[in-house]
Amino acid sequence: MRTVRTVERALALLRTIAISPTPMTFGELHKASELPKASAHNLLATLEETGFVVRDQNGRYRVGLTAFEVGSAYPVRAGLLRLAEPILRDLVRRHNETCHLGILDHGDVLYLERLESSQPVRLTTATGVRVIAYATGIGKALLSLLPDSEVRELYPGKLLPLTPQTLAGMPALLRDLGETRRRGYSIDNEESTAGVRCAGAAVSAPGWPAAGISLSVPLQRIPDDRLAELGADVQAAADALGARLREVKTGM
């Protein structure tokens, strides 16, 4: 199948901007894309004109409203969010901690939704952001659904740390995933963000992408006994969402 090279390059630029944790300068995008300056400039101008990217007051590029509208129209994502929202809201209502919903995509967690707590100190991860799965609660819960051989294939090289607590090496990750399977929920002990612990659980339903739910809590509010309580509730929420997804799929 033939593809249009110009479209490929424009979409690659858009994805580079989308996965960046901060807005990007033209120089950063030019370097990342390895395109000639004129080509990069013309492609970015087209993306900006059509609303797929915008520039902030410092001239840095970030994703625009058109990209959000296109992504939000993805039917599986929309259906998953609609069914998950009341379950996520109930978790936040009962625990008043930040709740996330994400899916596994090529070894990363792609965050689809977040519901914030009303606590003055809280963690938020923006929707649409990707984080390497082996360092997150949702990610480890989702990886635990896979056989060890597939996990190894996802990360053939060295596991790069996000914090000093990120699991070091494949043997440590596989041991952690084994514990997650036995426990029923995953634990992120400051592995993705310093000062934050997280409990995550996987949602699995045929015909839907494997998704995960997590509660993220600053360290000072989550001793071991509370972590176990949150983990059990996150697991129950994931089971409830899985049952709802299976019910809807059966009725479709």
Task: Kindly state whether residues 158 and 80 are assigned to the same domain.
Answer: yes
Q: Give the burial class of 121: count Cβ atoms within 10 A of its Cβ; 0-12 exposed, 13-18 middle, 19 or more buried.
A: exposed
What amino acid is encoded at 97 in this protein? E
pLDDT band at 58 (very low <50, low <70, confident <90, very high): confident
What is the model's pLDDT at position 21? 74
- Kind plus residue range of the DSSP H or E element containing 203: strand 196-203
pLDDT band at 73 (very low <50, low <70, confident <90, very high): low
Cα 175 to Cα 148: distance, rounded to the nearest angstrom: 10
Range of the domain at 17: 5-70
Percent of the chain at pLDDT > 70 equals 89
Closest CA to 235 of 194, 165, 180: 180
Question: Residue 16: pLDDT above 70?
Answer: yes
Q: What's the mean pLDDT in 70-78? A: 62
Task: Kindly state whether residues 144 and 244 are assigned to the same domain.
Answer: yes
Q: Which residue has the tokens 């790069």?
A: 160
pLDDT band at 68 (very low <50, low <70, confident <90, very high): low
Task: Kindly state whether residues 92 and 217 are assigned to the same domain.
Answer: yes
Task: Kindly state whether residues 66 and 106 are assigned to the same domain.
Answer: no
The total domain count for the chain is 2
Task: Kindly state whether residues 46 and 97 are assigned to the same domain.
Answer: no
* Residue pair 17/63 in contact by the 8 Å Cβ criterion: yes
* Residue pair 148/163 in contact by the 8 Å Cβ criterion: no
CATH code (residue 134): 3.30.450.40
Question: Residue 229: pLDDT above 90?
Answer: yes
Task: Kindly state whether residues 53 and 25 are assigned to the same domain.
Answer: yes
pLDDT tens by residue, 140-160: 999 999 999 999 999 998 999
Task: Kindly state whether residues 97 and 156 are assigned to the same domain.
Answer: yes
Q: Which residue has the tokens 């479209």?
A: 7
pLDDT tens by residue, 23-34: 889 999 989 888
Cα 212 to Cα 30: distance, rounded to the nearest angstrom: 35
Question: Strands across the sheet with 130-132, in order?
Answer: 130-132, 108-115, 98-105, 211-218, 196-203, 186-189
What is the model's pLDDT at position 91? 94
Task: Kindly state whether residues 41 and 161 are assigned to the same domain.
Answer: no
Task: Kindly state whether residues 215 and 191 are assigned to the same domain.
Answer: yes
Question: Residue 103: pLDDT above 60?
Answer: yes
Q: Which residues pair with 98 in a beta bridge?
A: 216
* Residue that is last in its domain, among 70, 94, 121: 70
Closest CA to 13 of 74, 64, 56: 64
